[in-house]
A and B are shown apart, each in its own frame.
Chain A
Amino acid sequence: MAELATGRPGSLLLLSFAQRPSERIVKYVLFMTEQGVSVDFVLWDEQSWREADLPPGVRTHQVRQREHRLLTQKLKRFFLYQLPGAPFGVLRCVTDSNPLTRAATPVVARAHRLVHRAGGAVEKRIFDPFYRILRPFLLAGVAEGAIRGRVDLKGVTRIVSTETYSITYAWRLAKRLPGVATTIYLDRGPLPPVAG
């Protein structure tokens, strides 16, 4: 049952900042939509969830591109890839411009690939472990932008944080929406109606 006897039916706000969809969550969403529950889903990448058979009636709010535009991500790309890679761009122009030096172009290209791979290793071993700690904070701000003007928070009567990265945002929403159940449990019970 999606609603109790009185009041406007409430809606479900689901959060997932995981980069891969989860079958368990897809089944949960399917169950809730079959009960007639209105669902807003703040997720990382819409396409991958749709490919995982997310029901079509679910309204999605993607954060992937917004995360990509975060200053931390821009700085990471600049210092690990763009800055180290810049000299190779110049070198390539030089080697390509002259028939005598053109033979060196593949060498330059290979060196550029090695530097890029080193950047990847630094990203994975040094940047990512710290970024993961900060990611819940950063995505809480990003998600707010994703739903502003698009989700009627006054109509939300249950918030479900489906994985660790979305807990901080769930907490911030819980502070703004006292009385709205905010849980990490995939609660299949009926939603309470909107208060008032």
Chain B
Amino acid sequence: MPGARRPRVLYIAFYFPPARASGVYRARATANFLVEHGWDVTTFAAPISFLRDKVGSMDESLDSTVDPRIHVVRPDFRKYAWDRDVRQFRWWRRNFPVVSSRMHAFSLAHVFPEAYASWGLSCARRAVAMHARERFDLVIATGNPFAAFGAAWWIHRMTGLPYVVDYRDSWTLDLFKDEPGFPENHPAWRWENRVLRDASLSVFVNEALRTWHQERYPKYADRMMITPNGWDPELLIMPTSPDGAGSTRDPGPLRFGYVGTISGVQPVEQLVGAFERARDHAELADAELNLYGYLGFFKGANVDLLHRLGASEDSADNGVHYRGPVSKTEVGSAYERSDVLVFMAGGAKYVTSGKIFEYMAAGRPIVSVHDPGIAATEVLRGYPLWFTANSMDPSEIAHSMVAAGKAARDLTPDQREAARQYANAYTREAMLTPFEARLRSVISKSKDRDG
């Protein structure tokens, strides 16, 4: 409408570029999508000093992928849980460490049950001040950390602004054990209830997670929607032409590739065991498994992982090579160097993993190494080059690796194109379009209510 003000959204996303935690891609894509579709976007994100000095988790190449029209603000906060250098402790903590520790425990029990609580409070203070100067229309908070949800709730209580919470991750459900993440009387339950009670909308990445929350909070079930993750075409730059003309596979040993952060909750032993068995097959005798990514999400990465993988950068007896991290903007090269992609994921039925969409977009055979019932299988089921053992038994997984390897050798351009066509339905744009429409509806209803 000519002259109409662009809707103004405050997007509270702790992990935002240049952070490299896995949730950053959804946050980055959401902010970019909104600004491209006519929104005025202000993002509250983590201080750079925290990302660099406390968690050591940055990918600076992601900065250039953020739309410059997005106004990024980085409220500071108390980093009690992350301060390790005694010289950096404040006077109070150095001299009264017991009292300081008790105050921290008190704030977790009675203010907000998360170490990021002071960031949430900082965001709320800043938001109220900014809202007084130029009104926002909506707040969106994405978690984890769930202090973002707390901030949205506090802002709502102080200003009446409607807010939306985006569950990139689960707060009170332990995804990997499939059980509640907190004891029954833990303050996290009270907090989640009040956040969902007052939210205009809550968003989940898959049906399994939404269903769990609907069953737990039936009164708010009608305000819960699904917005799956997707893949970002602007980040997936493959060095060779995707026109499918002729096979692009180099002659030589088959190359299995895992691209992404490797964490302790993933079934690395099953992966390595299966690959070693698969190499007993003549087709895969000289195959290699290349692991591209960080070991762990944060600084002080788990050195045990390398040991568990039995991997090295030099020639490895078991064919497993750790190739180190690749920046998000360079992953296309890692996919290009892989004939088969290994989708390894920890957890059970609630896990989708954002990675799977990009894997499909690469148009390669994908072999699964994960619990058969995970939510990602809903997406993979229609992918024409998916190979799964439906089991965590390394021998069975090895069979599917052999099948995937054979498919890679014989892959035709038409098959690759069919795979990519399937993936095109899962671009980030396709996933976010209904979400954006719903946000406009939230604002419209809020304005109608306010008269």
Which residues in A have some Cβ–Cβ distance to B below 8 Å? 132-133, 135-137, 159, 161, 164-165, 167-168, 170-171, 174, 181-185
List, sorted by A's number, 17 A–B pairs whose CB atoms are closer than 8 Å: A135-B98, A136-B97, A161-B86, A164-B98, A165-B97, A167-B97, A168-B94, A168-B95, A171-B89, A171-B94, A171-B95, A174-B87, A182-B85, A182-B86, A182-B87, A183-B84, A183-B85
Pairwise interchain contact A167-B84, C-beta atoms closer than 8 A: no
Closest 7 A-B residue pairs measured CB to CB?
A167-B97, A185-B84, A182-B86, A171-B94, A164-B97, A170-B86, A183-B84
Pairwise interchain contact B96-A133, C-beta atoms closer than 8 A: yes
Q: Within the assembled complex, what's the spacing in Å between the Cα atoms of A164 and B80?
A: 13
Q: Answer yes or no: B129 CB below 8 A from chain A CBs.
A: no
Kindly provide the distance from the CB of B23 to the nearest chain A CB, expressed in whole angstroms: 25
Residues of A within 8 A of B93 (CB): 167
Q: Which of B65-110 contact A (CB under 8 A)?
A: 84-87, 89, 93-99, 101
Residues of A within 8 A of B94 (CB): 167-168, 171
- Not counting A161-B86, A165-B97, a sample of 8 additional A-B residue pairs whose C-beta atoms are within 8 angstroms of each other reads A132-B98, A135-B98, A136-B95, A164-B101, A168-B94, A171-B95, A174-B87, A183-B85
Q: Which B residue's beta carbon lies closest to that of A178?
A: B87
Kindly provide the distance from the CB of B280 to the nearest chain A CB, expressed in whole angstroms: 36
Residues of B within 8 A of A165 (CB): 97-98
The count of residues in chain B whose C-beta lies closer than 8 Å to any C-beta of chain A is: 13
Residues of A within 8 A of B98 (CB): 132-133, 135-136, 164-165
Residues of B within 8 A of A168 (CB): 94-95, 97
Q: Which B residue's beta carbon lies closest to that of A173?
A: B86
Pairwise interchain contact B89-A167, C-beta atoms closer than 8 A: yes
Residues of A within 8 A of B99 (CB): 133
Kindly provide the distance from the CB of A190 to the nearest chain B CB, expressed in whole angstroms: 12
Kindly provide the distance from the CB of B281 to the nearest chain A CB, expressed in whole angstroms: 39
Pairwise interchain contact B86-A137, C-beta atoms closer than 8 A: no
With A133-B96, A137-B95 known as contacts, the answer to whether A171 contacts B86 (CB < 8 A) is yes
Q: Which B residue's beta carbon lies closest to that of A161?
A: B86
Residues of B within 8 A of A135 (CB): 98
Q: Which B residue's beta carbon lies closest to that of A188?
A: B303
Q: Within the assembled complex, what's the spacing in Å between the Cα atoms of A137 and B98?
A: 11
Kindly provide the distance from the CB of B264 to the nearest chain A CB, expressed in whole angstroms: 16
| Residue in A161, A168, A174 with the greatest tally of chain B CB atoms within 10 Å | A168
Pairwise interchain contact A183-B96, C-beta atoms closer than 8 A: no
Residues of B within 8 A of A182 (CB): 85-87
Q: Within the assembled complex, what's the spacing in Å between the Cα atoms of A142 and B285?
A: 65
Residues of A within 8 A of B89 (CB): 167, 171
Q: Which A residue's beta carbon lies closest to that of B83?
A: A184
Q: Which B residue's beta carbon lies closest to that of A175?
A: B87
Kindly provide the distance from the CB of A79 to the nearest chain B CB, expressed in whole angstroms: 23
Q: Within the assembled complex, what's the spacing in Å between the Cα atoms of A161 and B85?
A: 10
Q: Which of B94-130 contact A (CB under 8 A)?
A: 94-99, 101
Q: Within the assembled complex, what's the spacing in Å between the Cα atoms of A184 and B79?
A: 14
Kindly provide the distance from the CB of B98 to the nearest chain A CB, expressed in whole angstroms: 5
Q: Within the assembled complex, what's the spacing in Å between the Cα atoms of A136 and B96?
A: 7
Kindly provide the distance from the CB of A167 to the nearest chain B CB, expressed in whole angstroms: 4
Residues of B within 8 A of A137 (CB): 95
Residues of B within 8 A of A170 (CB): 86
Residues of B within 8 A of A171 (CB): 86-87, 89, 94-95
Kindly provide the distance from the CB of A163 to the nearest chain B CB, expressed in whole angstroms: 9
Q: Within the assembled complex, what's the spacing in Å between the Cα atoms of A167 and B101?
A: 11
Q: Within the assembled complex, what's the spacing in Å between the Cα atoms of A161 and B96?
A: 15
Residues of B within 8 A of A136 (CB): 95-98
Q: Which B residue's beta carbon lies closest to that of A140?
A: B95
Residues of B within 8 A of A159 (CB): 86
Q: Within the assembled complex, what's the spacing in Å between the Cα atoms of A164 and B87?
A: 15
The residue that A183 contacts in the complex, of B86, B97, B101, with Cβ under 8 A, is: B86
Pairwise interchain contact A174-B96, C-beta atoms closer than 8 A: no
Q: Within the assembled complex, what's the spacing in Å between the Cα atoms of A165 and B98?
A: 7
Residues of B within 8 A of A164 (CB): 97-98, 101
Q: Within the assembled complex, what's the spacing in Å between the Cα atoms of A171 and B89?
A: 9
Kindly provide the distance from the CB of A113 to the nearest chain B CB, expressed in whole angstroms: 32
Q: Within the assembled complex, what's the spacing in Å between the Cα atoms of A176 and B37?
A: 59
